[in-house]
Structure 1
Amino acid sequence: MSAKAVLAPVFVQVLLTFCLLLWTGRVRFAAARAGAVRLKDISLGERSWPAPVQQVSNAFANQFELPVLFYVLTGLALATRTADHLFVGLAWLFVLTRIVHAGIYATTNVVIRRFQAFLAGAIVLMAMWLVFAATILLA
């Protein structure tokens, strides 16, 4: 499998993270300008942001949880040359679940739907790790 094919879902995941970063900044500045939050109330924490701002911020922060394991796995799969069509397909599926999860979190925040998207991504990522481990250990 080519490095391009393996890295394409990583690039999309990184793009998602940067989009959420920019969105977070936009909604935070808008909330501060509108007087929805006082700067002294958020200087040491995030609990005082209005809920819509916190949702986008949390969606951004979530990109540094499960995706970290995805990044590590992708690097290992590239280094060991074990990334195949199954790996790339699962990688795209994982990234899709992250996009859905972030979209739900940052907008409607329907908790059961958000959890379903998170769980689907976690299961896909676990499957990716299991396949990778089996490929390495049983080779």
Structure 2
Amino acid sequence: MNTNLLLYPMFAHVLWVAFLYVLLTLVRAPAVWGFIQSRKESWAEVEPRISANLSNQFEWPLLFYVVCVLLICQGSVVDSVQVWLAWVFVAGRIAHSLAQIITRDVRLRGLVFTINFVPVLAMWLLVVAKV
């Protein structure tokens, strides 16, 4: 497969992060602009979870971007497995965001994190195995 196919899951993750920034801005806007009259506002409880999840988007995903860029720079044909793993990673990031923002279930978050942890690890193992 063409290495450029890895750009699509990378771009999908970028769009997801952009969406999280917009969501965080919308949640913070009422407090910033003085629209909230009391701390009982439901969004006030969600804001720290969105903010924490946004920070998470720059931790493990960094290794995803590095392996994708490495594969693209090699210029060789990428296995369809690598592209499939990249899409599983993106789906896992979205699921992890939803689990972290919507629920407070840490066990669920851990389980869902595995969905995006394993594919990146597998992508790296495949890269190293070819060397």
Q: Do they fold alike, i.e. is TM over 0.5?
A: yes
Q: Identify which of structures 1 and 2 has the higher relative contact order when contacts are C-alpha pairs closer than 8 Å and 6+ apart.
A: 2
Residue 120 (structure 1) aligns with: 115
Contact 1:82 1:132 (8 Å CA) reproduced: no
Residues of 2 paired with 1:97 and 1:109: CA distance?
Answer: 17
Structure 1 position 115, deviation (Å): 1.0
Within a 5 Å distance, the mapping from 1:1-139 to structure 2 comes to: 1-32=1-32, 33=34, 34-35=36-37, 50-80=44-74, 81-135=76-130, 137=131
Residues of 2 paired with 1:77 and 1:55: CA distance?
Answer: 33
TM-score of the aligned structures, taking structure 2 as reference length? 0.86
Residues of 2 paired with 1:77 and 1:91: CA distance?
Answer: 12
Residues of 2 paired with 1:78 and 1:4: CA distance?
Answer: 7
Give unmatched runs, 5+ long, in structure 2.
Answer: none
Which amino acid is 1:20 matched to? L
Give the root-mean-square deviation of aligned CA atoms.
Answer: 1.8
Q: Closer, same or farther in 2 for the Cα pair 1:35/1:90, shift >3 Å? A: same
Structure 1 position 36, deviation (Å): 5.5
Partner secondary structure for residue 86 of structure 2: helix
Give unmatched runs, 5+ long, in structure 1.
Answer: 38-48
Which amino acid is 1:73 matched to? V
Structure 1 position 12, deviation (Å): 0.5
Percent identical residues = 33
Residues of 2 paired with 1:125 and 1:51: CA distance?
Answer: 31
Q: Closer, same or farther in 2 for the Cα pair 1:26/1:130, shift >3 Å? A: same
Residues of 1 paired with 2:81 and 2:8: CA distance?
Answer: 14
Structure 1 position 58, deviation (Å): 1.0
Structure 1 position 110, deviation (Å): 1.8
TM-score of the aligned structures, taking structure 1 as reference length? 0.82
